[in-house]
Structure 1
Amino acid sequence: MTTRELILYLEPTPTSPLRSRVQKFLDDARADFYPTTACKYECHCTMTGFFTVPGEESQVQRVTDTLDRLLHSNSGNRDGISNSPTIETTPLLVKKPRTFVTELEGATRIEDYPVHLLLPVSAPSRLHDVVRDFALEYSIVRPKAINHISLAYWDEPHATNDQTLEWHRLVLHERLMDRMYETALNAFKDISNTADYTEWDIVLYERTCKGIDVGSRHRFLEHARWSASSFSRS
């Protein structure tokens, strides 16, 4: 039986200067630094993991209708709390301990290996409630933290051993992620949470083509879009 792979995103509206700024960074990073896994996607903040439904169009419509109902039931403003997500003005380079094993050097532990360059996002509680309720109705849905836009990271299970070794060489010996962080600091230094930067949408996508190779883009089909500030369908 055929299935369809869906995912729910929170993303700046198509006309938002924030979206343009992030997309330019991703495109420039692909050309100027390296096609990291973040470059496989367009600007987004993940609300759920990927999940599959049967291939009939009616199944996608059922998911859309469920989300529409849940969004409307959570659309009321709570005690004057802002309905719009906000974004941090300073990128964050996450570093974690990591151990590498090679034939020549044996095991080597790096205490501050860069693993993720991101822009932190703060989503209102209503969005978390919607995803929680969605996962209760669809047990296959995996809620995500809704807390960042990825700018660079490496998650390439189909990469060759040589490609993986090259990535680690670039990160460890050529400071690739650190240099990307320095570029991101300059690229996003004047972001502010004004109206232009707080226009976000909730979007249901279907992944129609999975980019397997390093640098290969995923392809998506949009099925539904709602305003994150009002939960109205667009």
Structure 2
Amino acid sequence: MSVVDLFTPRDSSTGFSLLTVCTGNICRSPLAELYLRRGLADLDDVAVSSAGTMAVDDDVMPDQARALARSFDLEPDAHRARFLFGRDVRSADLALALAREHRRAVVAMHPRASRYTFTLREAARLAHDVSDDEIAEAMPGTGASTAERLRAAVGLLASRRGTVPAADDPIDDDVVDPYRRSDETFVESGRQLVPAADVLVDLLRRAAASPGRVR
């Protein structure tokens, strides 16, 4: 069994579930959900959702958050906040916290989730400069489903913890919370979130398309 296999969190017969998490599920995590869903839309059996550790069910995104989403050509009006439950964490293959406090909350609900939970910016840091050869080496055998390939990519990210240098300042693994703050803070949250999401989408898409190594 490879080190990547050790990090596979769920039954390989199911689709791939990606969960984004923040506090109220009305600013950061819905933007990440919408952006990642679009980036992965053409991959088979991938579901992207979001929830909040202190969310009030059915809250809508504030005007500033909706404007930020629209600036990236996303449609936010249908989003409704959802409180995070342990079952959401247990059913995820990849949980992306928008700040370290959310990662701690996710792992507290389900300690095994430490294997597949990262802050979004941490995941991007771990994914940065991963080569196609490294991805191929991590992939399961011929005939693996897209979900199995994506789970292997999550395992690859987890295996890089401790080998990739940590952020210079731990706060650099967080996306700033813009709630009830200035328009400039909302823009800054987008500047932090979107490039990290782009790096992760690139990794996952390359994993989905990778032929894998000859075994």
The question of a shared fold, defined as TM-score above 0.5 by the shorter chain, is answered with no
**TM-score of the superposed pair, with normalisation by structure 2:** 0.29
More strand by share: 1
Structure with larger RCO (C-alpha < 8 A, sep 6+): 1
Pick the structure with greater CA Rg: 1
More helix by share: 2
**TM-score of the superposed pair, with normalisation by structure 1:** 0.27
